[in-house]
Amino acid sequence: MNYHYPIDETWSKEEIVDVVNFFTMIERAYEKNAKSNDIMLAYKRFKQIVPSKSEEKKLFSDFEKASGYSSYHVVKQAKENDRLIRMKKSSS
C-alpha cells in the first residue's frame, strides 16, 4: 500500500480511526474478502462522520484514484448480498 487514506483534518482521532477502518474494509473486499455485515457497519459509521453525499463521493473518488478500489461498488454489493464480498480490481 503506497497511498494515503482521504481524511479531513477537522475530524477527531476517533473519527479518523473509524473512516480508516471503513477504507480498510474496502481494501479487504478486494485483497481477500469481507463480510457484507462488517462492511455495512463500517459504512454506517462512515456516514455518521460524512453525512454529505457530495463529500462521500469526493472521498470515494480520492480513495479510488489512490488505490484503484471502488468503495461505491463494494458498498453496493454489501447492500445487495448477505455474504462474503470478494471484489476483482478492474484493469482501467
- 26: domain CATH number? 1.10.220.80
The total number of structural domains in the chain stands at 1
pLDDT at position 89 is 76
In a domain, 7, yes or no: no
Separation in Å, CA 23 to CA 31, 72, 91: 12, 11, 20
Per 3-state DSSP, the chain is made up of helix, strand and coil in percentages (nearest 5) of 65, 5, 35
pLDDT at position 23 is 98
In a domain, 92, yes or no: no
In a domain, 90, yes or no: no
Residue 3 reports pLDDT greater than 90: no
In a domain, 64, yes or no: yes
Whole-model pTM above 0.95?
no
Region 60-77: mean pLDDT is 97
pLDDT at position 25 is 98
- What is the span of the domain harbouring residue 66? 13-83
In a domain, 91, yes or no: no
In a domain, 28, yes or no: yes
